[in-house]
Amino acid sequence: MKLILRQLELPLDYLETDLPAAAARRLKCDEDEIIHIEMVKRSIDARPRRPAPVFVASVQLELADRFRLPAWLKKDVEVLETEPALVSAPTRPSLKSGAPRPIVVGAGPAGLMAAYHLAVMGLKPILIERGDRADRRKTVVDQFWRDGTFDPQNNALYGEGGAGLFSDGKLTARSKDRPRIRLFFETLVQCGAPRDILIDSEPHMGSDVLLKVVGNMRRMIEEAGGETYYNTALTGICCENGAISGIKCGTREFATDRLILATGHSAHDIYSLLHQNQVALESKPLAIGIRLEAPQKQINVSQYGEFAAHPRLKAASFRVTRRPESGVRACYSFCMCPGGLVICCASEDGALTTNGMSYSGRDSIWGNAAFIVPVEPEDFADMIANGSAPQLAGLHFQQKIEEAAFRAGGGGFAVPALMLKDFLDAKISAELPANRSCPRSRPADFDAILPEFITRTLRQSIPSMLRELGSISPADCIVYAAETRSSSAVRVLRDESGQSENMRGLFPAGEGAGYAGGIVSSAVDGLKAAEQLISTYP
């Protein structure tokens, strides 16, 4: 018999050799009835009701024929009649001689995973990226963070690895598409990611590991017949009779009848290009706010209590929400980066946004998270009144805030920052801690950056949210403005085949298409787009 046993509790100092005995106790069987055991999922339960945090695991077991499953345990057991489902591989297509190759634009998680799958299936895709290769891109981004030197085509948002390369490297997923998530994770491990991502409930790589993984994925794409072009920006779309016929990248043209567009949520010029070509778009809700930085030790104590210093417990994260109240909207934390840094990001000169980043060690003395407020289309109706196309109104609302943040920071991409207590009191801080994670930041008036309904919601909600966490002192927290790109401001409409509603052969994918958020969901969406593209071959 093969089965999955869930809710197996293990002490913090457990060893792999302890698994058979722990499972045998739970199953009320002898250890020698366990032929094989393997951990498939692991999380930390540190709720206050427990005397000490524990690991809660799911394990896959193979048991001897004499084993009998206790009836009372069935709710925590899944008997495996067959092997776990894998993504079904489509029939391997073949390109006719002289037929155009499929093109993937954008080398973020969605584009890389799409190109990898197309390459493995023998379609020799062309992968186009406006920024540089990840290793060379890092040099440019480090320089930007040091002195504000900005490259509009190669920065923290553009380049191989996408915006996710300079983020926390979290691999959490809300998607229920377990087979594709598993395939993505196994691909990452094949490219050098730690095997722990296959079992951890909140897996994390870090930007330093991502840098290597992305490079290895590119090499695998090329070894399978794919071709990559860097520093090559998409500038034009060619179509005939409502179908893609090619693209332009400056003076270079590429013929294709199948295009996966995975340009990310920051490629504002691509949305304008699509709008000019009458590709079906719609504006969508946003969430905008600030990024809050707190001492990581305080965050650890808030989650782990007296066990915060235990060597098996990593830098803690948190997630807090606040429901709408009289006069204020909902508020929630987003993209929490334990042991991380607050960073400046920009995709055009004269505008900036913030994000959080961490390395694999998550060893910064600070942790940070976005605290954001929902923004609905009616909130940016004035953009339409002032001449914005309805489909791009949210984008222009977002840009207006980012331009205000740039000005408030004094130009040069210094990030506006305040001590939290000063922000709550609507004051401008006299000074900031010297050891803050984002040194190129300066005190500024947040009310000149963010709409009033957002600052009002944040000021009323954040104190209560921090009280829920218990051990975080508002006096020690710093806030940075503005957090604007938690999701795309535009959705590229697509039908059940994965293609644009009104342009055949165009497959919008990932965060930029408005159907994903984060590394995992973007990669899964890119993989699905590749599968849908493949299904169009005869």
Map 438-503 to HEC letters: CCCEEECCHHHCCCHHHHHHHHHHHHHHHHHHCCCCHHHCEEEEEECCCCCCEEECECCCCCECCC
48: pLDDT strictly greater than 90: no
Q: Which two tokens stand for residue 138?
A: 């890092």
347: pLDDT strictly greater than 80: yes
Q: What is the pLDDT of residues 467-509, one digit of tens each?
A: 999 899 999 999 999 999 999 999 999 999 999 999 999 999 9
Q: Which two tokens stand for residue 33?
A: 């009835």
Q: Give the span between the Cα atoms of 418 and 198, in whole angstroms.
A: 39
Cβ atoms of 356 and 341 closer than 8 Å: yes
Determine what percent of the chain is predicted with pLDDT higher than 70. Answer: 98
Q: Give the span between the Cα atoms of 408 and 402, in whole angstroms.
A: 10
Alpha-helix runs per DSSP H in 3-76 = 19-27
Cβ atoms of 330 and 143 closer than 8 Å: no
Cβ atoms of 102 and 119 closer than 8 Å: no
Q: How does residue 312 score in pLDDT terms, banded at 50, 70 and 90?
A: very high
Determine what percent of the chain is predicted with pLDDT higher than 90. Answer: 88
Cβ atoms of 238 and 244 closer than 8 Å: yes
Q: Which two tokens stand for residue 533?
A: 């593209």
What is the reported pLDDT for 82?
62
Single-letter amino acid, residue 41: K
Q: Which residues of 218-243 are buried (b: 16+ CB within 10 A; e: fewer)?
A: bebbeebebebbbbbbbeebebeeee
For residues 384-412, average pLDDT: 95
Q: Give the span between the Cα atoms of 154 and 131, in whole angstroms.
A: 4
What is the reported pLDDT for 49?
86
Q: How does residue 511 score in pLDDT terms, banded at 50, 70 and 90?
A: very high
243: pLDDT strictly greater than 90: yes
What is the reported pLDDT for 307?
95
Counted residue by residue, the chain has a size of 538
Which three-class secondary structure state does DSSP give residue 23? helix
Q: How does residue 97 score in pLDDT terms, banded at 50, 70 and 90?
A: confident
What residue has token string 């500038």? 235
For residues 179-194, average pLDDT: 95
Mean pLDDT taken over the chain: 94
Q: Give the span between the Cα atoms of 376 and 387, in whole angstroms.
A: 19
Q: How does residue 447 score in pLDDT terms, banded at 50, 70 and 90?
A: very high
What is the reported pLDDT for 86?
53
What is the reported pLDDT for 256?
97
What is the reported pLDDT for 475?
96
394: pLDDT strictly greater than 90: yes
Q: Which two tokens stand for residue 165?
A: 């390369």
Domains located in the chain, CATH noted: 2-79 (3.30.70.2700), 103-282+491-534 (3.50.50.60), 286-483 (no CATH)
Q: What is the pLDDT of residues 128-162, one digit of tens each?
A: 999 999 999 999 999 999 999 999 999 999 999 99
16: pLDDT strictly greater than 70: yes
More confident residue, 86 or 331: 331
Q: What is the pLDDT of residues 195-230, one digit of tens each?
A: 999 999 999 999 999 999 999 999 999 999 999 999
89: pLDDT strictly greater than 60: no
For residues 262-282, average pLDDT: 96
Nearest to 440 by CA among 465, 411, 472: 411
What is the reported pLDDT for 93?
82
Query: How do beta strands 441-443 and 415-419 pair?
Result: parallel
pTM, 2 dp:
0.93
